[in-house]
Amino acid sequence: MNISRLSLRGLTVAALLVAELPASAQSAIDTTLAREHVAEVRALAARTDTLWKVRTLGALLFVDPRTRQVVASQADSAGLLSAYGALFVGTLPDALPIANTAVTLGGTRYAMLMWPLPADRGARVRLLLHESFHRVQDQLRLPAANPSNAHLNTTAARIWTRLEWRALAEALLRSGTQRVQALSDALAFRAMRLRTYPQAQREEQALLLNEGLAEYNGWASSGEADSLLARRVALAMLARERQESLVRSFAYASGPAYGVLLDGSGMAWRPQLNADSDLAELLRVAYPSVRVDTTRMLQRSERHGGLLIRAEENEMAARRVETERGHRARLVEQPVVRIPTTDSLSYSFNPNDAFPLAGHGMVYGSGQFTDVWGTLRVARNGVLLKQGSGMPGEVVVPGPPAGRPVLSNGNWTLTLAPGWTLREGTRPGDWMVGRQ
């Protein structure tokens, strides 16, 4: 499972790292296994570097979330890490969120990965390649983006998305006129979704160019035989259909499908990419016989199991109503702890459980949030990142038990930086973080 993170200023670590690895933590990461993982992914360097025409595979940084021990494949430019055989070690500071992401440490750009890595070789390699893409995406003129895509929490958008995935899977498994027909259906389903939600094209495409292409890189560079790659991507996409949330996770399914189909067209599409690229439009151009026709949509949808999809989504909609009611009670109506944000905010979260709360912001099941006031770690039961003007407005968690000013309630823990405190809020029962 990938964990995403966003830093509103870009995450750079300088003298925060402790250079020496404590003896008590030296067994937290198996350095022999770490070397094997490094060698495993480096064997794929030629493939991924050829895809993007840049050195995609570079410095890797493994982090143990329990001890914050780090083991790196190469030294940082500032010399903050200590040599440990063929590797380099240190300890990550408490202020820095741990996530699968890209990070600049001591002047060196790393792909950061949480330890341990997946035991399954395929999943492990795809994760390493995914985060390695994030390491270089700025060089590719593809900046990171974090749009809400809240429309994908609605029943209509989910139905059109699942129909699109069914048709894309069909296209991946077929060739010739059958592929063209399936692609025509997929792009028609997408067009219907965009027609219903005008903001969707911009928001979906931003996340596709970020997480979607990273996941495509994981699949396309993994060494999977071409004869199996399309089938594996199709199956992985369909396995995501019934997820409770598609808001953040949809790009992990759609991105590889679009990329593999573009590769199958023979068009040189990757050199054309920039921050304004539309993968669906590239796909239409790559297959000139494809026609995006939004007539006879009932007939088109029934070719891909539309009746069953609608029935399943109507049932899931009832569950989403209950989920929203619970989030609203815990994070809006009942007493809460309100924590301000600045442009120093960085955070990590699980993209598979993002839930938009209309009029308020995005709820994540768990996550870690770091800002000038300290660090908030949420293990379960939700955290609300409220909407702001150009950046999140504040972080909100359920209030402490019995209205007492405690820094943990069993589901979350707040570690305050010097000079910050927890005081009573303006609404009865609320608490807020502020300067002393």
Predicted confidence (pLDDT) per residue in 365-399, tens digit: 999 898 999 999 999 889 999 976 556 789 999 99
Number of domains in the chain: 3
**155 and 237 inside one domain:** yes
pLDDT attached to residue 353? 87
Residue 225 lies in a domain: yes
Residue 318 lies in a domain: no
**287 and 184 inside one domain:** yes
Among 136, 164, 191, the domain boundary falls at 136
Residue 322 lies in a domain: no
Q: Distance between CA atoms of 184 and 307, rounded to whole angstroms?
A: 19
Q: Would you state the structure tokens that stand for residue 350, as one six-digit string?
A: 């699980």
Q: SS3 of 434, please? A: strand
User: Is pLDDT of 403 > 70?
Assistant: no
Sheet holding 346-349, edge to edge: 4-7, 346-349, 367-371, 374-378, 412-416
**172 and 84 inside one domain:** no
* pLDDT band for position 295 (cuts 50, 70, 90): very high
> Range of 128's domain?
4-136
Query: Which of these, 190, 252, 186, lies nearest to 1 by C-alpha position?
Result: 252
Q: What is the pLDDT of residues 334-361, one digit of tens each?
A: 999 999 999 888 888 888 889 999 999 9
Cβ 410 vs Cβ 397: under 8 Å: no
Residue 352 lies in a domain: yes
**162 and 115 inside one domain:** no
Q: What are phi and psi of 80, to 5 degrees?
A: -80, -25
Residue 145 lies in a domain: no
Cβ 383 vs Cβ 364: under 8 Å: yes
**233 and 154 inside one domain:** yes
Residue 160 lies in a domain: yes
Q: Where are the beta strands (DSSP E) in 153-248?
A: none
**182 and 103 inside one domain:** no
**427 and 394 inside one domain:** yes
**431 and 361 inside one domain:** yes
**185 and 232 inside one domain:** yes
Residue 143 lies in a domain: no
Give CA separation, 240 vs 60, 146, 258, in Å: 28, 20, 16
Q: Would you state the structure tokens that stand for residue 419, as one six-digit string?
A: 């000079």
Cβ 392 vs Cβ 385: under 8 Å: yes
Q: What is the pLDDT of residues 10-66, one digit of tens each?
A: 343 333 333 344 443 445 899 999 999 999 999 999 999 999 999 999 999 999 988
**208 and 275 inside one domain:** yes
Mean per-residue pLDDT over the chain, rounded: 90
**201 and 303 inside one domain:** yes
Residue 321 lies in a domain: no
**360 and 306 inside one domain:** no
User: Is pLDDT of 8 > 60?
Assistant: no
